[in-house]
Amino acid sequence: MEFMKKNILYFSLFFFVSSLVVSGGLFTSKINSMISNRDSYHDINQAWFSGDDEDIYNSPEQKLIDVLHYTIKLDLFPEQKRLKGDVTLQFVFTDSHQKIFKINFYDNMRIHKVLWNGSATNYSNYKTSLTVEPKVINDTNYVEIFYEGRPKNLGLSSFVFGEINGKSLIYNISEPTYASTWFPCNDILTDKASFDFYLTNTSSQVSVSNGSLIEKFDNSGRTTYHWRTNYELPTYTAAIYSSDYKTFADKYVTASGDTVPIQYYVLPNHFEDAKIDFEEHPKILKVLSQLFGEYPFAKEKYGVAEFLWQSGAMENATITGIGSNFVTGAKMFTDIYVHEASHQWWGNCVSPATWKDIWLNEGFATYSESLYDEVVFGKDALFSNMRKNFRTDFNGTLYEPGNNLFSSKVYQKGAWILHMLRWEVGDENFFAILHQYFDLYKFKNASTDDFKKVCDEVSKKDLTKFFDQWIYKGDNVPVVNYRWKTKQDEDSIYYLVLDLKQVQKGDMEYHFPVEVKFLYDNPEDNYSEIIQVDEKHFEKTIKLKKKMNSIAFDPQGWLLVEFNDFNSYE
Ligand SMILES: [Zn+2]
């Protein structure tokens, strides 16, 4: 998922350029609404999720259910803002003693009946749980739920019967725990399943979902789109979109020569703009495949559908939703398209083990934006991107995202962790880590510790200190105050005497390698040395090639560390 995060300067530029070619007033109000939306979503986030909620939402009994497949039949009635559902869960109990079938489903929907392996059975629906009384338990079982109603709008939308330009647009954002507002499901990250969707709406509406379109059929003015995914997906990435979309297509050819369709579903008035904005997608999939391993859903598709969440985009599996604000025809938002595409690897294919591991989604996707720019524009683009992500006001540990799973800490500090890991282990190891991690955990779940094990193994280093200080325990950003002087010995050799002190709050002592650059009158004489910071306060003497003018710490920008020069040693 990506929230709009451009700063005001960027908007001013956007406005400036736009106002030259289009009506200024229109764009001013659009930009203002984008800014205020962004702020209001940050407010909403403050109270909408915490780690404790995860334990309440997911009962211990749910963890013993393995859903293999969902068949989701939805009849959509946008004028009444209602839907009729017929959902079948094919599942096994992972523990043979398990006799309780308890899944997630919000209790505002009206349930007509529930079948257990084809026979009507009793059930209770309370708050976010649906408990179904088992009849005969087979190895593989089927529970079918018939229901109707208007899904709640929770979290960042959950399920929306929206409208734009007087036309209906239906979409959902289920992340993290809102899939069960619109279909009954075992809404746990670790229970992935395949899906069949039968989406029925008036025939003017195009209905889209995960996977591939199997068939489309009409029945008295209504059209059903049947989509199927053979890949197992986490429930929060299951998605539907339905509107009077115009469609166009492109393709990505994998390294082994397979063709992956790329399908676009856009608002009719954005058709020409979308063709311009989206044209980089084949290149995006190609570059990301080179960086991480082949596009995971190559046998189905990649797709993008416009939706009405105007604060960003959501990486639903094989069918990303992009806020209609982010289609302009001016290629302003390629970074968002890269971010969402990268989630097809990080999140949709390698899924987090718990929501505490959300940085494995968002930190990876944010760093992917920089990696993509590095490949396309060169190394300077990498560092300039990371400078934009540089902040020193991250509070709390990365592993405790608190009640906001989608804070800048998760995104930007998460990206910085990967950038620093790369500095720590070197480029070759770093990219080998990404490949191996993807390869080991594709279509599975991974925890932060699983990722650490891959890092340790590939780099042949014990990265416990690295993970502790940056992810598990370090709850702030290190601040290093330094002083320096030069001295000359009796043989006329110059030395740099450095005094370094970590002054951030708290007890955490950070260890990291840092490049120190020695600066001369003639820049061609400049050279660097890497020193290891491994104490909170220490003095170090470094032999110099010749007397220099000054020094620079971390001149390229590899570290999320604030360096302050207190040049008053003498
Ligand atoms: Zn994201």
The yes-or-no verdict on residue 5 having pLDDT over 60 is no
Q: pLDDT band for position 346 (50/70/90)?
A: very high
- Span from the CA of 322 to the centroid of ligand 1 (angstroms): 12
Residue among 457, 458, 452, 487 at smallest CA distance from 472: 452
- What are phi and psi for residue 186, nearest 5 degrees? -85, 85
Which pLDDT value is given to residue 37? 36
Predicted TM-score (pTM) of this structure: 0.92
- Span from the CA of 411 to the centroid of ligand 1 (angstroms): 8
Report, in this order, helix, strand and coil percent for the chain, each rounded to 5.
Answer: 30, 35, 35
Which pLDDT value is given to residue 198? 98
Distance CA 175, CA 236 (A): 5
The yes-or-no verdict on residue 54 having pLDDT over 90 is no
Which pLDDT value is given to residue 379? 98
Q: Does residue 403 contact residue 355 with C-beta atoms inside 8 Å?
A: no
pLDDT in tens, 83-132: 999 999 999 999 988 889 999 999 999 999 999 999 999 999 999 999 99
The yes-or-no verdict on residue 23 having pLDDT over 90 is no
- Span from the CA of 268 to the centroid of ligand 1 (angstroms): 26
Residue ranges of the chain that CATH labels 2.60.40.1730: 61-244
- Span from the CA of 392 to the centroid of ligand 1 (angstroms): 21
Q: Is the peptide bond before 523 cis (omega within 30 degrees of 0)?
A: no
What is the topology classification, in CATH, of domain 479-565?
Immunoglobulin-like (2.60.40)
- Span from the CA of 546 to the centroid of ligand 1 (angstroms): 48
- Span from the CA of 331 to the centroid of ligand 1 (angstroms): 19
pLDDT in tens, 130-145: 999 999 999 999 999 9
Distance CA 158, CA 49 (A): 13
Q: Does residue 502 contact residue 480 with C-beta atoms inside 8 Å?
A: yes
- Span from the CA of 340 to the centroid of ligand 1 (angstroms): 6
Cα Dmax for the chain: 99
Q: pLDDT band for position 51 (50/70/90)?
A: low
- Span from the CA of 364 to the centroid of ligand 1 (angstroms): 8
Which pLDDT value is given to residue 401? 86
Average pLDDT over residues 250-259: 98
Q: Write the CB contacts of 361 (distance below 8 Å, at least 6 apart in sequence).
A: 1, 343, 346, 347, 352
Q: pLDDT band for position 327 (50/70/90)?
A: very high
DSSP assigned state of 407: S
Distance CA 211, CA 39 (A): 34
* Residue 335: HSE in the Cβ half-sphere, 13 Å Cα cutoff: 19
pLDDT in tens, 468-519: 999 999 999 999 999 999 999 999 999 999 999 999 999 999 999 999 999 9
- Span from the CA of 387 to the centroid of ligand 1 (angstroms): 19
Least confident among 48-62, 153-167, 213-227, 232-246: 48-62
- Span from the CA of 105 to the centroid of ligand 1 (angstroms): 25
- Span from the CA of 404 to the centroid of ligand 1 (angstroms): 14
Question: Which residue shows structure tokens 């400049």?
Answer: 526
What is the topology classification, in CATH, of domain 349-472?
Neutral Protease; domain 2 (1.10.390)
The yes-or-no verdict on residue 340 having pLDDT over 70 is yes
Residue among 404, 332, 329, 422 at smallest CA distance from 368: 422
Which pLDDT value is given to residue 50? 52
Which pLDDT value is given to residue 34? 39
- Span from the CA of 319 to the centroid of ligand 1 (angstroms): 14
**Long-range contact set of residues 7-14: C-beta below 8 Å, sequence gap at least 24:** 8/35, 11/35, 14/332
- Span from the CA of 212 to the centroid of ligand 1 (angstroms): 23
Q: pLDDT band for position 31 (50/70/90)?
A: very low
Q: pLDDT band for position 52 (50/70/90)?
A: low
pLDDT in tens, 72-81: 999 999 999 9
- Span from the CA of 146 to the centroid of ligand 1 (angstroms): 33
The yes-or-no verdict on residue 361 having pLDDT over 60 is yes
Alpha helices (H) along 426-463: 427-441, 448-459
Q: Does residue 269 contact residue 165 with C-beta atoms inside 8 Å?
A: yes
Instruction: Identify the residue with better confidence: 395 or 246.
Output: 246
Q: pLDDT band for position 156 (50/70/90)?
A: confident
The yes-or-no verdict on residue 27 having pLDDT over 60 is no
The yes-or-no verdict on residue 42 having pLDDT over 80 is no
- Span from the CA of 314 to the centroid of ligand 1 (angstroms): 7
Distance CA 327, CA 274 (A): 6
The yes-or-no verdict on residue 25 having pLDDT over 70 is no
- Span from the CA of 126 to the centroid of ligand 1 (angstroms): 31
- Span from the CA of 174 to the centroid of ligand 1 (angstroms): 13
Tell me the average pLDDT of the chain: 91
pLDDT in tens, 381-401: 999 999 999 999 998 999 988
Written as six digits, the tokens of 467 are 């993970």
Which pLDDT value is given to residue 49? 55
Percentage of the chain exceeding pLDDT 70: 91
Average pLDDT over residues 396-419: 92
The winner for highest mean pLDDT among 17-31, 48-62, 415-429 is: 415-429
Please identify every residue whose CB atom is under 5 Å from ligand 1, which is an ion: 1-2, 362, 365
DSSP assigned state of 469: I
- Span from the CA of 365 to the centroid of ligand 1 (angstroms): 6
Which pLDDT value is given to residue 6? 46
- Span from the CA of 407 to the centroid of ligand 1 (angstroms): 11
- Span from the CA of 552 to the centroid of ligand 1 (angstroms): 34
- Span from the CA of 361 to the centroid of ligand 1 (angstroms): 7
- Span from the CA of 83 to the centroid of ligand 1 (angstroms): 29
- Span from the CA of 294 to the centroid of ligand 1 (angstroms): 20
- Span from the CA of 221 to the centroid of ligand 1 (angstroms): 38
- Span from the CA of 2 to the centroid of ligand 1 (angstroms): 4
Q: Per residue in 74-107, is it b (16+ CB within 10 Å) or e — as a string?
A: bbbbbeebbbbbbbbbbbbbeeeebeebbbbbbe
- Span from the CA of 62 to the centroid of ligand 1 (angstroms): 27
- Span from the CA of 9 to the centroid of ligand 1 (angstroms): 23
Which pLDDT value is given to residue 334? 96
Q: Is 36 exposed, middle or buried (0-12, 13-18, 19+ CB in 10 A)?
A: exposed
- Span from the CA of 170 to the centroid of ligand 1 (angstroms): 21
Question: Which residue shows structure tokens 């760093």?
Answer: 367
The yes-or-no verdict on residue 286 having pLDDT over 60 is yes
- Span from the CA of 137 to the centroid of ligand 1 (angstroms): 40
Residue among 84, 94, 101 at smallest CA distance from 185: 101
Residue ranges of the chain that CATH labels 1.10.390.10: 349-472
CATH superfamily membership of 61-244: tricorn interacting facor f3 domain (2.60.40.1730)
Question: In what helix (H) or strand (E) does residue 290 lie, and over which residues does it extend?
Answer: helix 281-292
Name the amino acid, one letter, at 160: V
Helix pair angle (334-343, 281-292), 10° resolution: 50
- Span from the CA of 479 to the centroid of ligand 1 (angstroms): 28
- Span from the CA of 349 to the centroid of ligand 1 (angstroms): 14
- Span from the CA of 78 to the centroid of ligand 1 (angstroms): 29
Report how far Cα 29 is from the mean position of its chain's Cα atoms.
29
Which pLDDT value is given to residue 460? 98
- Span from the CA of 252 to the centroid of ligand 1 (angstroms): 22
- Span from the CA of 230 to the centroid of ligand 1 (angstroms): 24
Residue among 362, 361, 365, 311 at smallest CA distance from 337: 365
* Residue 240: HSE in the Cβ half-sphere, 13 Å Cα cutoff: 33
Alpha helices (H) along 182-226: none
Average pLDDT over residues 547-553: 93
Residue among 147, 179, 175 at smallest CA distance from 75: 147
Name the amino acid, one letter, at 564: N
Which pLDDT value is given to residue 158? 93
